[in-house]
Structure formats: C-alpha cells, structure tokens
C-alpha cells in the first residue's frame, strides 16, 4: 500500500499517460467506445476503491495542492487558443441550456422525494436531499450553507456528502464517455455543435521543442501561483472561495495572453492535454466510497434524480435543438462545480472552457437559494 507522495504521484502520471500512449500505438477498438480520459478516470477510481494508496495526511495534502495548482495552470493554457468574441455569440443558447438544466434538477428532486418519502426517515428525511440540491446547483459550499439554513443535524451531513460524492463520481464518468456520441446526438436533436460556434483560433505553429515546453509550463505554474496569491487576498464568502477567485484570475490571464503575439509560440496545446489527463487522474484518486453500505436509500434517490434530470434534458435538447456538448457542460456546471466543469469542457472542445467557467460560477451564485427553495417544497410535502 502506498503511503507517501512520490509513489502516489508516479501512479497518477503513469495512469494519465498510458491510455493515450496505447491509443496512439495500437488503435484498439476499445478506444472507440471508451476514450482514454474515461479509462483514466475509471482506472484510478478503481485503484482508490481497492486501496492501492492510503489517504495519509501527506497524500491528502498533496491531492489538495495538485488540484489547487494544476487546475488554474490548465485553464490558463486552455485559454491560449480561444477567441473571446466567438464565445459571446453563444450567450442566449448558454442561458437557455442552463435554465433547462436547473428546471430538470428541480423536477428531479421533487419527483424523487414523492417516490421515496414514505420510506425515508420521518419527519426530516428530506433534509439530506435538500442539502444535496444546493451542491447540485452550485458546490459543496452551497451544500453547507443549505444545511445551516434549514438546521439539518450534523449526523445527517454524512448522508448528504456521501450521496453527493458517489453520484457525482458516477455522473462525471458518464459525461466523459458521451463525447464520442456527439455527432449522432446532434443529428437527433437537429443541433449544430456549440464547438462550431466557438472555434479555437487557428494559429501558425511550428514543432514543439523542449524549450517551448519549459517556457509554457513555467508560465502556467507562475500564473497559477499568482492567481492563488491574488485569490487568497480577495473577499471570500460561503459561495466564492479563494479557489474560485484563483480559477477566475487564471482564466482571465489566459484570455489576455491569447490576444498577444505570445500565443503563436508552440507548446501550449500538448502541455494542456497532458495536464488535463493528470488533473482527471488526481480527481479520480480522491474517490472515497467508505460508508456506502450505510446509505443505500439516499444513493438510490441520487441516481433517480440524475435519471430524471437526464430524461428531461433529452426532451429539452430535442425540443430546443441543444447540442450534446452544451448539455453536458451545463449538467456538470450544476452537479460538479467550478473545478470539474472546465475539465469536462476541455475534453469536448477547449474553446468551450470559458463557457464552462461562467456556468459553474453562475451555479455557485444561485446554489444556496435553489437549495432553500427545494427545502421549502420538500418540507411541505413531508408526511406528517
């Protein structure tokens, strides 16, 4: 069992690189159904569940540090080829998808509670679901805010956190794996891919050299460190944390550099691809299903909510001609939040990463109010 950082980091890097290497070298049909990024996520999750590494204080601190530093660095590099003007053209479509996603989750929580209210604990069995609704509109900070707002006891918090974590992990894997289905989905919905609206700027680039890799990696790390320094000095609240600030600053820095001659220097794209795989591996390594056997009913509720959400989004996509990428990004902007959503967007199209950041931030802003609204409705429907 791994108990120190360096062997753990070696496993993360090997897992991040092995499937892309095999896809390029072998051309196995497996990769037509399961892209490398999905296999990375599932493999590392499985290794975490079987206990290949023990989550010692040292490894836990390393996981947090890697996510905090790599995600802003990744976003900076992904922004280099983005055309900000094209992003604004998506405005009405983005808001429409976001609104439909919110409605689908609202219906999902209400319908699921009506299905299970007589088997959930009485009289406060609705409270963990209400707390989860705050997280599935925004993030963990919204979950805590809703928990405090409704006076949910601390012993019920574990049920909410476990439902959130397990169902979120499952949903991320599904959304990653859907990318290959986008052409067929868009034909069914008669939609044009949002990646065609927001097309990465094509730049003349030469071969990637060692010095280019070092320069871009150095700039990315410097921007990440600077964004973290600035974020720590910005006003924080229950919804906007220092990490949220640092992600916004790194995104802005990348968009600024994208409109300078520096963006024509080769190297940003392959480094961002490598960092993306590494971030996914580290995120998956944090999977923790301990205690899953104690909350099967709430886990079933979580799966039911996501199934209803998916069904309504399918109908909305067909009716309003939404494409798969925008639906997936909006869904994870709700369920996943500001750290995970841009990572998913990058697997779809790097040009959509700014859209993902904006949607995730909007979810954070609305998350607590959404959770309190759900709590009000569920408490009214609770059996006497």
Identify the weakest region by mean pLDDT among 153-157, 286-290, 302-306, 315-319: 286-290
- Mean pLDDT of the 270-283 span: 84
Residue 143 has pLDDT above 70, yes or no: yes
Q: Is 14's pLDDT higher than 90?
A: yes
| Per-residue pLDDT at 199 | 53
Find all residues with CB under 8 Å of 247, minimum gap 6, and list them. 71, 72, 75, 227, 338, 339, 342, 357
Any idea which of 91-95, 151-155, 276-280, 317-321 has the lowest mean pLDDT?
151-155
Quick check: 203 pLDDT over 80? no
Identify whether 256 is part of a domain: yes
Mean pLDDT confidence for 8-12: 93
Confidence (pLDDT) at 82:
64
Enumerate residues 6+ apart whose C-beta is below 8 A from 158.
291, 295
pLDDT above 60 (res 239): no
Mean pLDDT of 330-354: 82
Is position 201 within any domain? yes
275 assigned to some structural domain = no
pLDDT at 294: 52
Find the mean pLDDT for residues 81-104: 77
pTM, whole model, 2 decimals?
0.69
- The domain total for the chain is 1
Taken in order 377, 379, 382, 384, the sign of the CA dihedral is negative
Q: Does residue 160 have a pLDDT over 90?
A: no
pLDDT at 237: 64
How much is the average pLDDT of 205-228?
A: 85
Q: Which residues contact 369 (CB under 8 A, 6 or more apart)?
A: none
Model confidence at 86, pLDDT cuts 50, 70, 90, reads low
Give domain status of residue 251, yes or no. yes
- Return the pLDDT at 209: 76
pLDDT in tens, 349-383: 877 888 888 888 778 778 878 988 999 899 899 88
Over range 202-214, report the average pLDDT.
68
Q: Give the residue, 195 or 375, on which the prediction is more confident.
A: 375
Instruction: Give domain status of residue 70, yes or no.
Output: no
Q: Is 205 left (phi over 0), alpha (psi -120 to 50) or beta?
A: beta
Quick check: is 120 in a domain? yes
Q: Which of 43, 35, 3 is nearest to 175 (CA)?
A: 35
* Domain range enclosing 221: 82-267+295-381
User: Residue 134: pLDDT above 70?
Assistant: yes
State the residue for tokens 């023990």: 54
Q: CA nearest 80: which of 175, 206, 219?
A: 219
Residue 88, pLDDT above cutoff 70: no
289: in domain: no
Over residues 225-236, the mean pLDDT reads 89
Q: Is residue 277 part of a domain?
A: no
Q: Stretch 107-121: mean pLDDT, rounded?
A: 92
Identify the band that residue 314 occupies on the pLDDT scale cut at 50, 70 and 90.
Answer: very high
* pLDDT of 213 over the 50 cut: yes
């Amino acid at each position: 069992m791994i108990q120190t950082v360096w062997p753990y980091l070696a496993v993360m890097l090997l897992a991040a690189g092995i499937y892309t290497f095999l896809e390029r070298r072998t051309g196995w049909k497996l990769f037509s159904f399961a892209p490398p990024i999905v296999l990375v996520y599932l493999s590392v999750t499985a290794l975490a569940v079987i206990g290949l590494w023990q989550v010692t204080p040292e490894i836990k601190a390393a996981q947090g540090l890697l996510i905090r530093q790599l995600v802003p660095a990744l976003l900076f590099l992904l922004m280099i080829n983005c055309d900000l003007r094209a992003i604004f053209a998506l405005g009405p479509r983005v808001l429409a998808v976001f609104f439909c996603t919110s409605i689908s989750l609202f219906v999902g929580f209400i319908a699921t509670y009506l299905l299970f209210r007589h088997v959930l604990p009485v009289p406060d069995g609705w409270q963990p679901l209400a707390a989860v609704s705050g997280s599935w509109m925004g993030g963990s900070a919204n979950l805590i805010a809703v928990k405090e707002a409704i006076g949910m006891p601390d012993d019920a918090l574990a049920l909410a956190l476990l439902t959130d974590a397990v169902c979120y992990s499952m949903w991320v894997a599904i959304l990653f794996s859907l990318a290959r289905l986008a052409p067929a989905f868009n034909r069914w919905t008669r939609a044009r891919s949002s990646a065609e609206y927001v097309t990465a700027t094509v730049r003349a680039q030469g071969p990637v050299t060692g010095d280019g890799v070092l320069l871009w990696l150095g700039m990315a790390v410097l921007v990440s460190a600077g964004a973290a320094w600035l974020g720590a000095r910005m006003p924080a609240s229950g919804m906007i944390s220092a990490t949220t600030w640092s992600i916004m600053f790194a995104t802005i820095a990348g968009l600024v550099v994208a409109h300078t001659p520096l963006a024509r220097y080769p190297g940003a794209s392959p480094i961002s691809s490598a960092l993306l795989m590494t971030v996914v591996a580290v995120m998956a390594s944090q999977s923790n299903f301990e205690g899953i056997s104690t909350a099967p009913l709430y886990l079933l509720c979580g799966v039911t909510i996501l199934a209803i959400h998916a069904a309504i989004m399918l109908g909305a996509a067909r009716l309003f001609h939404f494409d798969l990428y925008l639906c997936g990004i909006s869904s994870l902007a709700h369920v996943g939040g500001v750290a995970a959503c841009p990572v998913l967007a990058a697997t779809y199209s790097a040009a959509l990463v700014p859209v993902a950041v904006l949607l995730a931030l909007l979810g954070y802003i609305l998350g607590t109010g959404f959770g309190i609204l759900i709590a009000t409705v569920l408490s009214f429907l609770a059996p006497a």
